[in-house]
Amino acid sequence: MSEAWDTLRSHRQELDGISLASLIDAADRDQHFTHQLGDLHVDLTRHLATDQTLELLFDLARERRVEALRDAMFSGEPVNTTEGRAALHIALRNQSDRPILAGGVNVMPEVNAVLRKMQAFCESVHNGTWRGSTDQRIETVINIGIGGSDLGPAMATEALRPWWSNGLRVRFVSNVDPSHLSDTIRDLDPQTTLFIIASKTFGTQETLTNAHAARRWIAKALGETAVSRHFVAVSTNADRVAAFGIDTDNMFEFWDWVGGRYSMWSAIGLSIAMAIGFNQFTALLKGAHEMDCHFRDAPMHKNIPILLGLMDCWYRECWDCQSRAVLPYDQHLHRLPAYLQQLEMESNGKRTRIDGSPTTEGTAMIVWGEPGTNGQHSFHQMLHQGTTLVPCDFLVAATPTESVDDDRYDILFANCLAQAQALARGHGLDNIRAELEETGLSESDISTLATQKVMPGNRPSTTFLYRQLDPATLGRLIALFEHRVFVQGAVWGIDSFDQWGVELGKHLATEILPGVVDGSATQGDATTRRLTMHMDALRRG
């Protein structure tokens, strides 16, 4: 039983029929619903919430010990309870002299040592000291990983493409589908290509399968002895790295208190640093550290991650929202929705509390989206007139990263503002009828068309506005979303840092694989066996 949730549910009924437009237009609306950190401005004024709603949500946060759990995470306590581990991604971007402890031991000397090693390696590739086996400079770096070893670095390198330097191209391979690697290397020269194999255990099936295929490509072109000059590893398993043929001096370490989806700040981010240079990678870390300090120190009513996380729980439980749309008005952020899908849905897509009891509230929403303005010509129709309430996140920069001499960016920015306004305020029948009457349509045609054009409004959204999408800004944003997810998990009482739901399918695939290879179809349930037999028949022609 939760007194705070019961009160919030009753409060939700009191808001039936409330006009979001009237909330927005209140003279003091921005007092508690807009917040600033650096040049990041977060506007919550277009939410179905009042000052009383916020106070009730703060009561919920106190009941669920959100601040105490946050402090436990920063103190290095094993907040990943099912695995008995700390969750110290905050240490990876700690830019202060403040020690961060795991098991009573300060982890910062090890973190800083790996960062120095990453810097030295990046500089050696950039300045041409590190060369391939035929003494050619490296021109292309390919990161082979999956999940957190791919999504974060791939998102960040795309987001920061205007900051790419040193003439390097950076690409990513994650899918075990052979076409992904083949398409990625098709136009490349093995002599000038370097692979980063990113796998904590160096045993992830998809990653190692792709890594061995890449190894064969290098060895066929350049010989076995070339492997050590064209591969480095991000891993904790030195024996497997060495067995692959990578010199362990070229292995970059990270730790079991780094969750995969929180790891882009670690050596997993080596591909990011290779793309944008280590100084800009440091700026990314500094931006994230700034948000960490804000989350750790800001009072609840001014704490942006706490406010966003509580608002998510409000919509999930009291408004029965099943999904949230992420709408970056920035083409460079086109991978952000996919990245946030893993961050949120793998973290909080769970039905069992830490104490083993089933959850009684809804948990993670489905996260989805596309960049504006593309989405306006596809799924925005549903956002405006559909029967499902979908809170939206709009992200937009005041100035573009590309220099332009026309009004394209102003058009983009205006569309972002317009979509959020239209969702909130809608378009009523009386206004629509008046507009149609001005066109000279007959009353019959007006009656037929007017109701089709009604948009109910009252669709909530958050707008994230910043000066420009630079490394520090991206760092602030991603750390903000990480801590937002933590707050959600604290309210729901679940472990946001494990991912047991990922394991069953992987285990079954290992069992089913031999029957796929030889066509015997001896494993799996009846449907699996039938499909395997049909696959074998198709292969045999």
pTM over 0.95: yes
Do the domains spanning 3-83+288-500 and 94-281 agree at the CATH topology level?
yes
What tens digit of pLDDT does each residue of 451-471 get? 999 999 999 999 999 999 999
Band of the pLDDT at 58, cuts 50, 70, 90? very high
Q: Which of 220, 301, 506, 534 is catalytic?
A: 506
DSSP 83: T
- The answer to whether 151 and 173 have CB atoms below 8 angstroms apart is no
- The answer to whether 133 and 307 have CB atoms below 8 angstroms apart is no
Rounded CA gap, 412 and 419, in Å?
A: 11
Domain boundaries, the chain: 3-83+288-500, 94-281, 503-540
Dmax (CA) of the chain: 82
Residue 77 appears among annotated catalytic residues:
no
For residue 1, pLDDT beyond 80: no
The predicted model gives 2-8 an average pLDDT of 96
- For the domain made up of 94-281, give the CATH fold: Rossmann fold (3.40.50)
Rounded CA gap, 130 and 228, in Å?
A: 11
What angle (nearest 5°) sits at the alpha carbon of residue 241, between those of residues 238 and 242? 85
Band of the pLDDT at 541, cuts 50, 70, 90? confident
Band of the pLDDT at 314, cuts 50, 70, 90? very high
- Phi, psi values for residue 51, rounded to 5°: -60, -35
Question: In whole numbers, what is the pLDDT of the chain averaged over residues?
Answer: 97
Other Cβ atoms within 10 Å of 436 Cβ, number: 19
CA distances to 24, 115, 128, 142, 475 from 464, rounded to whole Å, are: 17, 30, 40, 32, 14
Q: Which of 220, 301, 377, 534 is catalytic?
A: 377
Residue 506 appears among annotated catalytic residues:
yes
Rounded CA gap, 365 and 368, in Å?
A: 10
Residue 220 appears among annotated catalytic residues:
no
Give the CATH H-level superfamily of domain 3-83+288-500. Answer: Glucose-6-phosphate isomerase like protein; domain 1 (3.40.50.10490)
What tens digit of pLDDT does each residue of 331-364 get? 999 999 999 999 999 999 999 999 999 999 999 9
How far the first Cα of the chain sits from its last, in Å, is 61
pLDDT for position 452: 97
- The answer to whether 232 and 250 have CB atoms below 8 angstroms apart is yes
Q: Which of 253, 317, 346, 370 is catalytic?
A: 346
The predicted model gives 289-293 an average pLDDT of 98
Rg of the chain's alpha carbons, rounded to an integer? 26
CA distances to 506, 509, 523, 530 from 533, rounded to whole Å, are: 21, 16, 11, 5
